[in-house]
Amino acid sequence: MRRLSIILCICVFMHVSLPAFADYKEDLFKKAVDDFSKGQNGAAEMSLKEILSCGDKTYKGRTLYLLGLIYLNAERFKDAEESLLKAYPDYSVLGDYVLKALFDAYLKDDRWEEAVKALKRLKGSYPDSLLLKDARLKEINYLLSKSRLEDAKNSLSSYIKSYPSDRNARFMLAKLMGETGEKTKAAEMFKDLYLEGGPLYKDALKEYRSLGGGDLGAGELYILGDNLLDRGDAVSAENAYMKALPLAEPSLKRSITLSIAQCRLKERRYHGVLDCLRGLDGPNVLSLKAKALYRLKDRDRFYKTVLSIKRDYADSPYLPGLMLLMANDMRRSNKTEEAASMLEDMVKEFPSKKETLLWSLAWLYYLDGNYKEAYGYLSRLSAMDTQHLNRYRYWQARSLEHMNGDARPIYRSLSKEEDFYGSMAMQRLGQKPHYRFIDTAISLPKGLAFERVYELKFIGMKDYAKKELARLITRIKSQDELTAIAYLFNQLGDYRRGIYLAKKTEANDLFFFTYPVCYWQSIASASERTGVDPYLILAIIREESRFDSHAVSGAGAVGLMQLMPATAKRTGISDSVPVKDRDDLFNSEKNIILGVDYFSLILKEFKEIPISIAAYNAGRATVREWLSHGNYKEMDEFMEDIPYGETKAYVKRVLESYWRYKDMADYGNFKPNLVK
C-alpha cells in the first residue's frame, strides 16, 4: 500500500523528477480501471488507495470517484458517500457523474431526503446532463416501491413533459392513473399508445380493454395500420387494416383495400395482392397489380396492365417507372427492337426522365453489341451536368474499345476519380486501384465538452464517452473538430459513427476512419481456414454492419456479417460453430466464422468475386436466375446489369472497399492502432 509513497519520497530526497514515477502512477490507475471493469473490486480498491496515499492532486478526483463507484456496487453506502463527497470539489469535469452516483447511493440506502437534495443539485448545476433522465426514472421507481403513488404520478407527468417520446414512461403513467381511480384518462392514454403502433402497442390494448375501453372505429384502426406499416411491420399492419375493412364507410374502404395490397406486396404475397384488388380500377390499383404481376413473372398480363395505365391514365405518376420496367423486361427477353422503340417514344413523352431513358437506351445497345449506337447515347449523356458522369464516361470508353478506338485517354482521365468507376478505369489500364493517403496528426480539441469525453474514456466509462461524444456531432464547428470526433469514435469502438462522420467530407486525411481495420485477428483466422481474401471479408463487414457486432436489420439479419439465423444454423455452415439461438450471432468471432464459411460456399459455386458478393446479398437462387437470362461477355457487364438496385449498389460498395483495403496493405498503410 505504501509503495507509491516510498517511490515519491525517494524522488524528493534525491531531487530527481522521474518520468517513470508519473508513468507508474498512470499504469496503476489503468490497472485499477481494468480490474474494476472485470468485477475485481478488491484489487481495484487497493490500487486506487495506493494512488491516494501519495497525496498527488492530479489523480485525486477521478480516484475518489472510482472508489465511490466500487463502494456503491458493494453496497457500502457510507464509504461511497464519503468518497464521492470528497471527489466532487476536485472533479468538476465530471461533476454531474459524481452527483448522480451520490444520488444512487442515497436512494439505495433508503435516504430519501438526501437523494432529493442530490437530484436537485444535479438538476440545478447540470440541467443538460444526459444522466438526468436515468436519475429521474430511478426517483420514480423509488416512489413506486414505497407506494407513494401520487408523488410518483406527479414525477412521471413532469418527466414525460421533458421526454415525451418515452413510451415506457407513458405506459407507466397510464397504469398508475388506472390504479388511482382515473380510469377514463388512463384508457385514453392506453388507446393513444396502441394506435401509435409502438413496441408496447399490444400491451396497451390489453390495458385499454381491462379498463372497459370501447370498440375502436375503422378510422382509428386505419391509423394503427399506417403506423405499423411505417415501422416496417407489414403483417401486423395488414391485420389492423383487415379489422378496419368491415367497419369502414364506402369512402374509406378503397383506401384500406389499397393499404392491404401494399402490405401484401411487402410480404411478397403477390397472388394475395391480386385477390384483394379484384373488381377495383384506377391508376393506384393498376400500379399495384402491375408490380405483383411483374414479380410473378406473368409477363403478358404485366404488359397489358401497364398499357392499360398508359391508355386510361396517361398522367399517372406511376406510369414512367412501370414503362421503364416493361422496356427493361423486353430487353432481358431479347425483344431488343421493341424495347428500343418503346424507350425512344418515352424520351419524347417523359422529358423529365430523359437522362434515365437515354441511359437505358445506351445500355440496351451496348449489351446488344451495337457499340456505335451505345457510344452516341453515352456521348450525349457525358455532356450533361449529372452525378452519374463517371459511369457514362466509363461505358463510353468501353464502347470505344469494342470499336477498336483508343479509350486510354478517357480511362486515364477517369482514373483520377476516387470512386468505383475510377477504380474500374485503372484496372482497364492494367493498374491496381490506388488511392491517395494523407496521414495527418490528430489535433484533439480543447474545451469542457471534449475534456469530459477524454476523461470518461480514461476512466474506462466508454459507453458514456460515446454518448457524450454523440451530443457533439450537431455542434461541429470545423474540419479539425470533425476529424477529432471521427477519430474518437474509432478509438471508442463506435466505427459506425466514425465512418459516418468521415464520409461527410472528401478529405483524404480521414481515410483511415472511413476504412477502419477491425476484428483483424478473427478475420485473418477465418481467411486462413477458408482461403477467402481477408480484405474482402473486411469489406463485406464494413458494408453489412459498419463493424457493429450488435447490428440487426429490418429483415432480422444479425451481427457483423448480417447473418439470418436460419442460414447460420444450416447444416454445412454451423458444423464448426454450433448456433444455439439468435443471440449467439452477436458474438463477433462466431459471426465471422459462420459468415465467412457461408461466403466460402457461395464463392466455390460462382467462382467470381462480384457474382459471389451479389449472391451474398440477394440469394444464390436469385443470382442463378440472373445468370441464366444474361449473356455477359465480361464481369463489368454483369455488375452494371444487376436487376435489383439495392444489390447493384451493394456490390459496387463492397468492391470499392475491398480495393481500398488491398491498397492500404500493398502500400503499408494498414493501421494496427485501429485493429480490434
pLDDT tens readout for residues 123-160: 999 999 999 999 999 999 999 999 999 999 999 999 99
- Indicate the Cα dihedral angle 221, 226, 227, 231, nearest 10°: 140
Q: What is the pLDDT of residues 491-520, one digit of tens each?
A: 899 999 999 888 776 555 677 788 889 999
**Bigger pLDDT: 582 or 451?**
451
Q: What is the pLDDT of residue 481?
A: 87
Q: Kindly state the percentage of the chain with pLDDT values over 70.
A: 93
pLDDT of residue 582: 87
Of 212 and 19, more confident? 212
Q: Identify the pLDDT of residue 63.
A: 96
What percent of the chain has pLDDT above 90? 79
DSSP 322-385: HHHHHHHHHHHTT-HHHHHHHHHHHHHH-GGGHHHHHHHHHHHHHHTT-HHHHHHHHHHHHTS-
Per-residue model confidence (pLDDT) at position 168: 97
Q: Which residue has the higher pLDDT, 19 or 23?
A: 23
| CA gap 102, 96 in Å, rounded | 10
Calculate mean pLDDT across residues 451-474: 95
pLDDT of residue 438: 65
| Range 218-227 average pLDDT | 98
**Tens of pLDDT, residues 526-579:** 999 999 999 999 999 999 999 999 998 877 889 999 998 888 887 556 666 888
Rounded to an integer, the average pLDDT of 2-14 is 45
pLDDT in the model for residue 439: 63
Q: What pLDDT sits at residue 396?
A: 98
Q: In this predicted structure, what is the pLDDT of residue 542?
A: 96
pLDDT value at residue 440 = 62
Secondary structure (3-state) at 317? coil
For residue 515, the SS3 value is: coil
CB 599 within 8 A of CB 567: no
Task: Find the distance separating the first CA and the last CA of the chain, reported in whole Å.
Answer: 34
- Averaged pLDDT, 241-256: 96
Q: What is the largest CA-CA distance in the chain?
A: 100
Instruction: Report the chain's C-alpha Rg in angstroms.
Output: 31
- The pLDDT of residue 540: 98
pLDDT digits 0-9 by tens, 223-235: 999 999 999 899 9
pLDDT, the chain, mean = 91
Buried b (16+ CB within 10 A) or exposed e, 343-370: beebbeebeebebbbbbbbbbbbbbbeb
The confidence band for 675, taking pLDDT boundaries of 50, 70 and 90, is very low
- Asked if 2 contacts 53 with a C-beta cutoff of 8 angstroms, the reply is yes
Give the pLDDT of residue 21: 55
